[in-house]
Structure 1
Amino acid sequence: MKITRRDGLKLMGATALATGPMKAFAGSHGAMHEVEMLNKAPDSNERQVFNPPVLQIAKGDTVKFVATDRGHNSEANDDMLPEGAEGWSGKINDDVEHKFEVAGVYGYHCTPHQSAGMVGLILVGDVTQEMLDAAGEVRQRGRARQRMEEYLAQASEMIAAS
């Protein structure tokens, strides 16, 4: 059977139509990650924590902050968002989901327990040491300062390993 140029173009067009929408659909949904809001860390005596406190995800992924223990929320630090990124603010005792569309370093906290050190970091996409250094320049208060330093060091190790 001889295939003409016109038949070949029709075949390529049909193939593109058949596979294109599935590829577009598959790429529009990222992974779902969960971060628990806890009174006490499961593996230490640390109190008022997010678990895990540092999370590395891909651009387009969603994080669900789960109100495992009562009295907590998750809210983005407005001064620790990548340029052009949207923040989030959950209510006390409610789960909240946020889809991360912009690469960079995101800092967040529990509103009533921020000074007690209930803070966390999310690394989205290709994060550089310069991005982490800039996030480290943001002023933290109380116990949040020490924990954020620990989490930034952990994040630095994560990006060096990837």
Structure 2
Amino acid sequence: MAIDDANASVSRRGFLKAGAGATAAVGATGTAAAQEGNESDGGGGGGGSETVALTGDNVYDPEELYIAPGTTVTFDWTSDGHNIIVDSKPGDSDWEGHEPIENEGFTHEHTFEVLGDYEYYCSPHQSLGMEAVIHVTEGGQNPNAGGGGGGPTLPDSAMTMGVATMAALVSTLALAFFFIKYGGDYEMPE
């Protein structure tokens, strides 16, 4: 059977081109989605701002935050019945938290100037684990995160997309190998 314009799209070469194109498209889409879903301002550069949400899941989000001195943190109530009780702080810090229980829509701001750890909790929900800590460090970085400054971390969504893309690529290549090895244009005896 000869390959002509009518059946060229079903040739092995056409199949491989289509498979490679589809795999590349899936990979590019997944990478773009993972990057879009993980945008962040990267934590304090000093003089910046961060937000901590007091959520309906009875957690502070994030539960651990690294900021530089001079960063303003806005505590945003996204559900009812929370407060901020300071458990421990550096001795010369003036942060007192916010003891009155507030409801959704309330905000409280504080600019953290003193280096150190600020541990706090929500008194109505402490037994449920609603506790958090703010670390004020030079440069706003986690000193235990590894040396050399590292690079950007890989978010879970990007890892998932990478694994899915690799699985699609391997499947496509295995199928292509099968067709190349066992498929073919055999001429039928007349």
Q: TM-score, normalising length from structure 1? A: 0.54
Give the counterpart letter for 1:160 in structure 2.
N
The reply to whether residue 55 of structure 1 matches residue 72 of structure 2 is no
Instruction: Name 1:112's counterpart in structure 2.
Output: 124
SS in 2 for 1:39: coil
SS in 2 for 1:35: strand
Instruction: Name 1:14's counterpart in structure 2.
Output: none
The reply to whether residue 37 of structure 1 matches residue 61 of structure 2 is no
The reply to whether residue 65 of structure 1 matches residue 75 of structure 2 is yes
The reply to whether residue 125 of structure 1 matches residue 137 of structure 2 is yes
Instruction: Name 1:21's counterpart in structure 2.
Output: none
Give the counterpart letter for 2:123 in structure 1.
T
Cα deviations by residue, 1:44-94 (Å, 9 ceiling, x for unpaired):
xxxx100010000000111111001111122322xx111201222323223
What is the rounded CA distance, in whole Å, between the counterparts of 1:75 and 1:51 in structure 2?
16
Cα shift at 1:107? 0.2
State the structure with more CA Rg. 2
How many aligned positions are there?
A: 96
The reply to whether residue 75 of structure 1 matches residue 92 of structure 2 is no
What is the rounded CA distance, in whole Å, between the counterparts of 2:86 and 2:72 in structure 1?
14
Q: Extract unaligned runs of 5+ from structure 1.
A: 1-28, 41-47, 128-154
Say if 1:88 and 1:98, in contact at 8 Å, map to a contact too: no
Q: Extract unaligned runs of 5+ from structure 2.
A: 1-45, 150-190
Higher relative contact order (CA 8 A, sep 6+): 2
Cα shift at 1:126? 3.7
Cα shift at 1:117? 1.1
Give the counterpart letter for 1:59 in structure 2.
P
Match runs of 1:142-161 below 5 Å: 158-161=142-145
| RMSD value, Cα | 2.1
Q: TM-score, normalising length from structure 2? A: 0.46
Cα deviations by residue, 1:80-132 (Å, 9 ceiling, x for unpaired):
111201222323223111110100011011121112211100000249xxxxx
Say if 1:104 and 1:126, in contact at 8 Å, map to a contact too: no
Question: Identity of aligned pairs, percent?
Answer: 36
